[in-house]
């Protein structure tokens, strides 16, 4: 999927849903969400790539959420749990880590909602620089094998894509 397509078909609609819940839609949020999706999956994998190149790992969606990690987090964190559960109901998604994980595999708007809500749990403002973005990404996603060498180019591509809209 292209970055612009993900922005238009998933991130923008997800942020529109969250705006109704009091979480603003901003270019800064769009850029950060897109940069994370690029970092996590290169927008090429809705399922984590495991040994041998098979897409059978424990993480799902372009944002690579695991059931016991991000899925559980957005369903239980005091700042966002009620919003995530209400939006699960709106999208006919079972509000459990397994139900959310399964939906996120193919429902990009639900996945983008969960990604933005995970970001929302972080203290402080949304990042405006690649360095701050990397720090917040690490805090929220806690990647097992981070790849700092790809972050700057993903941030730049996200910045350009959000500017195109």
**Rounded Cα–Cα distance for residues 51 and 85 (Å):** 33
Percent of the chain with pLDDT strictly greater than 90: 92
Number of H helices, E strands in the chain: 9, 3
Candidates 49, 82, 61; CA nearest to 1 is: 61
Domain locations in the chain as residue ranges: 3-164
Q: Which long-range contacts (CB under 8 A, 24 or more apart) does 28-32 make?
A: 28/126, 28/127, 28/128, 29/116, 29/119, 29/126, 30/158, 30/162, 30/165, 31/155, 31/158, 31/159, 31/162, 32/119, 32/126, 32/127, 32/133, 32/136, 32/137, 32/158
Asked if residue 67 has pLDDT above 60, the reply is: yes
**Cα 65 to chain center, whole Å?**
8
The pLDDT, as a whole number, for residue 90 is: 97
DSSP 8-state secondary structure symbol assigned to residue 127? P
The pLDDT, as a whole number, for residue 127 is: 97
**Rounded Cα–Cα distance for residues 79 and 77 (Å):** 6
Q: Which helix (H) or strand (E) covers residue 103, if one does? A: helix 97-104
The pLDDT, as a whole number, for residue 144 is: 87
8 Å CB contact between 71 and 118: no
8 Å CB contact between 61 and 104: yes
The pLDDT, as a whole number, for residue 54 is: 84
Mean pLDDT for all residues in the chain? 96
Kindly provide the residue ranges of all beta strands, DSSP E only, lying in 12-156, ordered along the sequence.
Answer: 47-49, 55-60, 65-66
The pLDDT, as a whole number, for residue 108 is: 98
The pLDDT, as a whole number, for residue 58 is: 94
Q: What is the pLDDT of residues 73-115, one digit of tens each?
A: 999 999 999 999 999 999 999 999 999 999 999 999 999 999 9
Asked if residue 165 has pLDDT above 80, the reply is: no
CA atoms within 13 A on the CB side of 10: 27
Average pLDDT over residues 155-165: 91
Residues forming beta bridges with residue 47, ordered by sequence position: 60
């Amino acid at each position: 999927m292209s970055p612009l397509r993900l922005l238009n078909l998933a991130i923008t609609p997800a942020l529109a849903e969250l705006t109704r819940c009091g979480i603003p839609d901003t270019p800064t949020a769009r850029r950060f969400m897109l940069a994370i999706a690029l970092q996590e999956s290169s927008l090429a994998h809705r399922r984590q790539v495991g040994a041998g190149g098979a897409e059978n790992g424990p993480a799902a969606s372009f944002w690579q959420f695991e059931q016991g990690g991000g899925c559980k987090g957005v369903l239980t964190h005091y700042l966002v749990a009620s919003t995530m559960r209400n939006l699960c109901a709106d999208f006919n998604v079972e509000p459990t880590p397994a139900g959310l994980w399964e939906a996120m595999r193919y429902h990009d708007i639900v996945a983008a909602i969960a990604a933005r809500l995970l970001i929302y749990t972080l203290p402080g403002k949304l990042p405006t620089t690649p360095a701050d973005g990397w720090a917040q990404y690490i805090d929220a996603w806690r990647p097992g094998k981070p790849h700092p060498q790809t972050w700057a180019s993903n941030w730049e591509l996200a910045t350009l894509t959000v500017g195109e809209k």
